[in-house]
Amino acid sequence: MQNRYDALINKGGDSYQMIYTKKYLEQNGVQVNISTELTPNLENYDIIHLFNITRVHETYVQFKNAKKKNKKVVLSPIYHSINDIRNYERKNLTGLHGFIVKLFKDTNKIQLIKTLYYTYKYPSTWYSWITQVRKGYTGQQKELLKNADYILPNSELEMKSIKEELFNSENVKLKYDIVYNGIENIIYEESTRILDWLKINEIKDFVLCSGRIEPRKNQLTVIQALKNDEIKIVFAGALNKMHHSYSKEFLKQVRQNRNLFYIGEVKRDEIMTLNKYAKVSVLASWFETTGLVGLESGITGCNVVVTEKGYAREYYREYAWYCNPESLPSIRDSVISAYNAPRGSKQLEEHIQQMGLTWEQAAKKTAEIYKKILQS
């Protein structure tokens, strides 16, 4: 399995998808190693499974290396709609990054500048920028998708975006199968640290907002939407170091509002304990492929409010409340409705179980596809 250079340092949704798929593949007898190198030795491997075509300059070099060695390639694109990305960046980003996305209209130019930043940050990946100069950002994405032996999007909506935005709905033949993301089907012991923290701060019937503290996850807008209500809101997640001013303003708001609480980054048993005792979990992101934190909350019986942007609706269907991340009234109305409803009233927990949204099922389907391409 290969992913972006910093996938194990700055963990995001693509990192966890890779890590948990690996864990459960190994339980099915598949031998798996992870590498974030661009051109590792692939001699001992049958299949190279690539993740993430957002940071495609790295994935593209990994792909070319695999094909040079005549290896079968499986691709999990984790593709975010370029329209959602543009909308988010133009309305949220400030400083040099914000100036660049407002100045340039062309996706390839904007992404080339972003890639230049990443290769400056990680000098050993420098030549991946050169390949993007030659091929173009969307050119790299399209070549990967056309030439992968199999594509594993996380939803039909993701595949629809790929076809419409990258191929203009042209009749391209892409070998793909949907592999839904999921959660671990594990019962965690309650965290005494979290229980003590909730008791000390006298927190009951609270709204939980978990995820990295950053503009895309939209915590400041959630605060604006709800800070005049007497509902207690708990935020859990690491501060994104790339968004210092956003983190600074977030911490300021928490200090100034007695109904806001920030517990910082938490472990798995701790977040699941918070989910168990929260009345509502809110994920008002500017876009999501899945919205895993809502599934983790929903399996505990928590009411879930999730963004209407991205592909989350294919997972949550009618079993969650939806909000527009750009609208304060939409966020407030959805959260208040979920807060006033009985816990678990939309039966999301039952839906997750019936749909089989677990990493175990995701790995089982992935293993079946591995066998199929090796036999072809």
Where does the pLDDT of residue 364 fall: very low under 50, low under 70, confident under 90, or very high at 90 and above? very high
Where does the pLDDT of residue 101 fall: very low under 50, low under 70, confident under 90, or very high at 90 and above? low
Q: Percent of the chain scored above 90 by pLDDT?
A: 81
Query: Looking at the predicted structure, is the pLDDT value of residue 105 above 70?
Result: no
For the segment 272-296, what is each residue's pLDDT rounded down to a tens digit? Answer: 999 999 999 999 999 999 999 999 9
Query: Looking at the predicted structure, is the pLDDT value of residue 103 above 80?
Result: no
Q: Sort residue 211 into left (φ over 0), alpha (ψ -120 to 50) or beta.
A: left
H or E element, residue 98: helix 95-103
Least Cα distance to 107 among 155, 58, 160, 54 occurs for 54
- Give the pTM: 0.90
3-class DSSP state of 349: helix
Q: Which runs of E-coded beta strand occur in the chain?
A: 47-51, 72-76, 150-151, 207-210, 233-236, 260-264, 280-283, 303-307, 321-323
Q: Percent of the chain scored above 70 by pLDDT?
A: 97
Cα 309 from chain centroid (whole Å)? 13
Domain chopping of the chain, boundaries: 13-182+358-375, 192-355
| CA quadruple 236, 237, 238, 239: dihedral, nearest 10 | -80
Contact indicator for 154, 285 with CB cutoff of 8 Å: no
Q: What is the CATH number of domain 13-182+358-375?
A: 3.40.50
What does the DSSP assignment read for 267-324?
-HHHHHHHHHH-SEEEE--S-BSS-HHHHHHHTTT-EEEEESSBTTHHHHTTSSEEE-
Q: In one letter, which amino acid is 356?
A: G
For the segment 177-231, what is each residue's pLDDT rounded down to a tens digit? Answer: 999 999 998 888 999 999 999 999 999 999 999 999 999 999 999 999 999 999 9
- What is the spatial distance between Cα 198 and Cα 196, in angstroms, rounded to a whole number? 5
H or E element, residue 88: helix 82-92
One of 3.40.50.2000, 3.30.70.20, 3.30.565.10, 3.40.50.720 is the CATH number of 192-355, namely 3.40.50.2000
Query: Looking at the predicted structure, is the pLDDT value of residue 104 above 80?
Result: no
pLDDT at residue 81, rounded to an integer: 92
| Domains 13-182+358-375 and 192-355 in one fold | yes
Calculate the average pLDDT of the chain.
Answer: 93
Where does the pLDDT of residue 246 fall: very low under 50, low under 70, confident under 90, or very high at 90 and above? very high
159-170 burial: b if 16+ Cβ within 10 Å, else e: bebbbebbeeee
For the segment 116-151, what is each residue's pLDDT rounded down to a tens digit? Answer: 888 888 888 888 888 989 999 999 999 999 999 999
**How many CB atoms are located within 10 Å of the residue 222 CB?**
25
